Amino acid sequence: MSSQNQLNVLHKFKGIFFSTMSSKELLNSLDSFDAREDDVFLVSYPKSGTHWVAEVIGNIPSAKINLTSPIEFGDISKFEELKMYSKRRVIPTHLSYDMLPRNIKQKQCKIVYIVRNPKDVAVSLFHYYRDNPNLPCIETWPAFLELFLRGDVVYGSWFDHVLSWEEHKDNKNILIISYEEMKKDLSKSIKKMTTFLDINVSDSEINKIAWKTSFSEMKSSAAKENHDPNHTICALTSNRNLVFRKGAVGDWINYFTSKQKRVFDELFTQRMKHSELARRFEDYSK
């Protein structure tokens, strides 16, 4: 991949790669965003399950919410656009904690942070780079993995991102949920989220939502209602077909050589040695 190709679709802001779909002016103005006390933010590193959580919340009949496009998606007119929503806003983003608008922290808005095993994230992001015209095309998995380990990918280093959020895991306005626990028991994860967001939902409704938002159901409905710009949850595309690929847990095993696994594990151990979150992946990373 030529660096020219990378420059056309990505730009660096504060040392981190962003898609050109997030304008520099918008990124520069994040601190002028006016949060509302009842705003909800869905945050994750790319390819960790934001779409999935957005679908879950969007399917809660009693939620009375407006799901918006990501806060960093678009240009400076974004904040005016966000003001137009009258119901409780659910706003997705892939920003690290440090880049999150100041106002959100001051008002202690509720934040759901979704985290996923980084090996699966790397594989999923590799496919996303290959399929998404808004990202550089990187031909081979080894070349991509190298970039991923260096943090030279869109939204920077997975390690930096997750650690920036984990530092605030005890804040009462932040709920950390893992992709793996959603796969294991979606109803339980939905119950956790609705309780956290103070939304009353019966157990039978929760089970109905879990069925409707299972990965296979979402993938087939995405194919039916593709290219709705109002349904943009990802700051990197409005094409929903690109978003749902396999949704598997442990698919990394089909990509990593034993040497790549060793290199990855060494970096993981070094970077995540004080991380409690890291323990959530131990079973999926061996």
Asked if 106 and 33 touch (Cβ cutoff 8 Å), the reply is: no
Q: Which token pair is 142? A: 């080894």
The model's pLDDT over 272-283, given as tens digits with 9 standing for 90+, comes to 999 998 888 766
Domains and CATH numbers, the chain: 3-285 (3.40.50.300)
DSSP letter for each residue of 145-172: HHHHHHT-SBT--HHHHHHHHHTTTTST
Query: How much is the pLDDT for 246?
Result: 54
CA distances from 70 to 51, 58, 98, 251, 283 (A): 11, 15, 17, 27, 32
Active site residue 94: yes
CA distance 198 to 63: 9
Between residues 166 and 130, the one the model is more confident about = 166
Task: Output phi, psi for 282, to 5 deg.
Answer: -55, -40
The model's pLDDT over 202-247, given as tens digits with 9 standing for 90+, comes to 999 999 999 888 766 665 555 555 445 555 655 555 555 545 555 5
The model's pLDDT over 82-91, given as tens digits with 9 standing for 90+, comes to 999 999 999 9
Asked if 226 and 241 touch (Cβ cutoff 8 Å), the reply is: yes
Query: How much is the pLDDT for 3?
Result: 46
**Catalytic residue from among 11, 51, 94, 161:** 94
The number of beta carbons lying within 10 Å of the beta carbon of residue 212 is 13
Can you tell me whether residue 68 is helix, strand or coil? Answer: coil
